Structure 1
Amino acid sequence: MKLSQLGVMTPLAKGGAGEVFDLDRSPDSAFPHMVYKAYLPEVLGTDAIKFAEQAVEFRDSLSPADKAELDAFSAWPVDVVKDGRTTVGVIMPRIDREFFHVSPGAGKTIINDFQWLLVDQAKLRSRGTQFDDLSSFGVRLRLLANFVHVLDWLHRRRVIVGDISFRNVAFAMNPPRVKFLDCDGFAFAPASATATGRTTPTFAVPELSGNPPHQRTVDEQTDIYKTGLVVLRCMTPGPGATQRAAKDIRLLAGLVPDQIVAATVGDCLAVDRSQRPTAASLYAVLQSQSASLSSPPTIAAIDVDSTKCLRGTDVIVTWDVTGAVAGTLRGPSGLDITVDFSKFPTGMAVPAQATGPLELIATNKYGSTTVQTPWVRVFELPAVIIDVPRPPKIGPISPLAPLDELQRSLSGVRVETPALVMPALNAANLDLPVWLAPEVQKLRPATALVESFDGVRDEMLAGGRALSERLGQALRPAPPRSRRWRRS
């Protein structure tokens, strides 16, 4: 991507390798908000640029599912930015606001990086209620288990974090989850990644120390050693937490009931690299222990009342869910229904839209659990076609001779109705007071009509009789003609 395509940029933060700018519009439609990391002049042309380009190539090589998972737990570079032919920076999705908090005093927005896990609970309480859950070791273990899960995901794809520190990982609550930062500096095995500039001073690793060091490259084992320090220090917050080392493992043993946690973290901090566990082994221990202290919801059972139905009819989904505060029921063709377990504790009816399983996602502040129903086969209602036969064809109808004769006979008949004549009303002939004469004159038309009613009736009756006589003459059959015989 060209630098000139980025539009308006607003400064956000500045680090040792570059400065981060907020972009007024996203250059990639897959992300609503993005930022631009511009490398400092002294970084251009160094290995940092090579690692940034490799990070973009790595993401491009992933499947859509892996790419979505990577974007969920990291602020991974999406594309490099070039000025001419020189790589000068990268663009990344902006970190979600859930990974920030507002400082009560200054009112500034501050990222929730892992440094906050080192602060004792009394000081955290002064920052507001957003950190109250960190008083639970179960929540802390769950955050750390998430951290190690991401590390395992990366290691299985031969990606080395290298510079693990508290500033390079952020966290959010409800549910507890993490997001890796500064991913443009990660290394990719089997190519070597030198340890220069890849180790925060308080995260020194035995094999990378000394003069000269026993090893000059970072790898999976150096990541595990630093992860052991992260777990130990985050589980024992308070004064001196940033300096805790392998000798302080006893502090952890007194806090966590299951001694296997302390033993496994102790193995992470072993000087002998061969004793260090893999990220997968460490995750299994942390996840098991955190589940006993803070667990996501449990879905013991889920089923449907029918696995075959017509489109548009209801399917009743039943479940046995504990520990959930919210849920979502999803299915084929975009079905997405919010479930209120207080109203629907054992199940609900949903419209069948397409063939496939339904998926119930139950969540609480510790995480989410997803379970699918058996497949539901949805059928279309068959179309009903009725074959209506054509009506029989009717031929022309012969005209009736008598009717034709009647029409010809009536063609000359005309009925005339005499016009009605209203006789004049003479007010002088009425025995009325003189002062009423003008009013009577106004009633002249109505009075004339009443007086002439008998005459009009007689005229109409006479006209009807005349019409009847003429119709009778027209319909009377003609007399037969006489035949004359001729002798042959």
Structure 2
Amino acid sequence: MGVISVRRDALGGLKPLNSGSQAILYRAPAVTLPGSDGPYVYKEYRSKVRSGIEHGIRRSLVGLIRVRSGATPAQRQRIDASSVWPVAVVEDHVGAIGLLMREIPDRFFVQVTTSSGKTFRDPAEASLYLQPEADIRARNLTPLTLHGRLYLTARLLRYVALMHELDVVIGDFSSANVLFFIHPTEQKERNSVMFVDVDSYRLGSGVPALVQGHTPDWQTPENAKRSALYKSLVAAGASANQIASARAAVDIQDKRSDVFKTAILILRLFDGGEKSLSTRHSPESMAKITKFRGKRFAATLAAALAAEPKDRPTIDVLFDDFVRQS
């Protein structure tokens, strides 16, 4: 399968779906593409985001599209089952302005009830389930069971392991860009995950289409150090080159930072306390993980949270020790 490029004016009728600071989302019901099943969503970057870097955006998106098209059938099936991967670049007379991706499946949306009794349909972000059970029930959502948490952990680890096998760095990994489907009665085998915002992923040593940010409360220790250095250089009136170099280092993320953020998500998944959304140290989680997955995995998970990237295991080791259960 080749890389697909589509002209903006060939998308047909578009239906506004959502908007954010970086892009506007549209349903694209008229679009059909070879090698991928719709329906599709068109993500158009705002002009302030893409201006002057259209060719860089195209290069990055083409790289990600080739990851999927060049994967084995089994890998491609796993990619499609767990992410809304870019499948085409959208261009106008200037260059790349956006991308086409599959629409998020309906099962990854929930009807959320607010404290005032109002209901609304929203993506089922992982953050909705990283809270006390009483709060989850108050929103009219299904709380996670122990088996449901274990099954989600396996799905998370399997997806990140696949990304690293394909030499892809996720980068901005948080509970906002991972969606959960929680089955109401069969969580042990039916829960699943869906990763969104894939266009911020980085291929190998390349540059992502969008900056790989750090969501608050998901910052790695090494990034915190780089941020502190950058701020100190600015305050000290360092040279422009020193400041620019330090600023660029702030955005660097790699497979070891992915491992740290994966471990953070697993830790929070098993916590269930008032501070589950931000905790980095949870004796409650580690006790549950030790009891139900064994001391070996608990120790490897603790190592994945090490302050020094070199001391963290690879995602394959983390996944293997989870499966081994000893």
- TM-score band, normalised by the shorter chain? 0.7 to 0.9
SS of residue in 1 equivalent to 2:288? coil
Q: Say which of 215, 229, 233 aligns to 1:212.
A: 229
Map Cα deviations across residues 216-270 of structure 1 (whole Å, 9 max, x no partner).
521110111111111111211232222212xx24232233313334322211110
Q: Say which of 53, 59, 62 aligns to 1:53.
A: 62
Map Cα deviations across residues 104-125 of structure 1 (whole Å, 9 max, x no partner).
4434221111111212111111
Matched, 1:235 2:241: no
Query: Superposed, which structure 2 residues align to 1:292-441 within 5 Å?
Result: none
Letter in 2 for 1:186: Y
TM-aligned CA distance change 1:126 to 1:195, over 3 Å: same
Instruction: Give the distance between the partners of 1:171 and 1:184, measured in 2 at CA.
Output: 19
Match of 1:253 in 2: 286
Match of 1:11 in 2: 16
C-alpha contact (below 8 Å) 1:6/1:27 kept by paired residues: no
TM-aligned CA distance change 1:200 to 1:154, over 3 Å: same
Match of 1:158 in 2: 167
TM-score by structure 1 length? 0.54
Structure 1 unmatched ranges of 5 or more: 293-488
C-alpha contact (below 8 Å) 1:23/1:33 kept by paired residues: yes
Q: Say which of 165, 180, 186 aligns to 2:201.
A: 186
Greater fraction of residues in helix: 2
Query: Superposed, which structure 2 residues align to 1:243-282 within 5 Å?
Result: 243-245=278-280, 248-256=281-289, 257=291, 258-282=294-318
Match of 2:109 in 1: 100
C-alpha contact (below 8 Å) 2:108/2:179 kept by paired residues: yes
Could you tell me how far 1:181 is from its partner in structure 2?
0.5
Match of 1:33 in 2: 39
Q: Say which of 118, 122, 131 aligns to 1:119.
A: 131
Could you tell me how far 1:160 is from its partner in structure 2?
0.3
Instruction: Give the distance between the partners of 2:32 and 2:271, measured in 1 at CA.
Output: 43
Instruction: Give the distance between the partners of 1:232 and 1:99, measured in 2 at CA.
Output: 22
C-alpha contact (below 8 Å) 1:99/1:172 kept by paired residues: yes
Map Cα deviations across residues 10-43 of structure 1 (whole Å, 9 max, x no partner).
1212233211111232332532311100101111
Match of 1:474 in 2: none
Q: Say which of 24, 29, 49 aligns to 1:24.
A: 29
Matched, 1:131 2:142: yes
TM-aligned CA distance change 1:19 to 1:195, over 3 Å: closer
SS of residue in 2 equivalent to 1:19? strand
Instruction: Give the distance between the partners of 1:185 and 1:194, measured in 2 at CA.
Output: 6
C-alpha contact (below 8 Å) 1:79/1:90 kept by paired residues: yes
> Which structure would you say has the larger Rg?
1
Instruction: Give the distance between the partners of 2:100 and 2:210, measured in 1 at CA.
Output: 25
Letter in 1 for 2:308: D
C-alpha contact (below 8 Å) 1:252/1:262 kept by paired residues: no
TM-aligned CA distance change 1:78 to 1:192, over 3 Å: closer
Could you tell me how far 1:194 is from its partner in structure 2?
11
Could you tell me how far 1:271 is from its partner in structure 2?
1.4
Letter in 2 for 1:250: P
SS of residue in 1 equivalent to 2:90? strand
Matched, 1:283 2:319: yes
Instruction: Give the distance between the partners of 2:59 and 2:212, measured in 1 at CA.
Output: 15
C-alpha contact (below 8 Å) 1:261/1:286 kept by paired residues: yes
TM-score by structure 2 length? 0.80
Instruction: Give the distance between the partners of 2:298 and 2:57, measured in 1 at CA.
Output: 36
Q: In percent, how many aligned pairs have the same letter?
A: 25
C-alpha contact (below 8 Å) 1:195/1:208 kept by paired residues: no
Could you tell me how far 1:85 is from its partner in structure 2?
4.3
Match of 1:461 in 2: none
Could you tell me how far 1:5 is from its partner in structure 2?
1.3
Structure 2 unmatched ranges of 5 or more: 1-5, 184-189, 231-245
C-alpha contact (below 8 Å) 1:39/1:89 kept by paired residues: yes
Could you tell me how far 1:49 is from its partner in structure 2?
5.0
C-alpha contact (below 8 Å) 1:141/1:287 kept by paired residues: no
Letter in 1 for 2:72: S
TM-aligned CA distance change 1:197 to 1:69, over 3 Å: closer
Could you tell me how far 1:54 is from its partner in structure 2?
2.1
Letter in 2 for 1:20: L
Instruction: Give the distance between the partners of 2:74 and 2:320, measured in 1 at CA.
Output: 23
Instruction: Give the distance between the partners of 2:59 and 2:160, measured in 1 at CA.
Output: 22
Could you tell me how far 1:64 is from its partner in structure 2?
3.5
C-alpha contact (below 8 Å) 1:37/1:91 kept by paired residues: yes
C-alpha contact (below 8 Å) 1:52/1:185 kept by paired residues: no
SS of residue in 2 equivalent to 1:190? coil
Question: What is the RMSD of the two structures over their aligned residues, measured on CA atoms?
Answer: 2.4
Equivalent pairs, count: 285
Letter in 2 for 1:117: Y
C-alpha contact (below 8 Å) 2:23/2:43 kept by paired residues: yes
Letter in 2 for 1:283: F
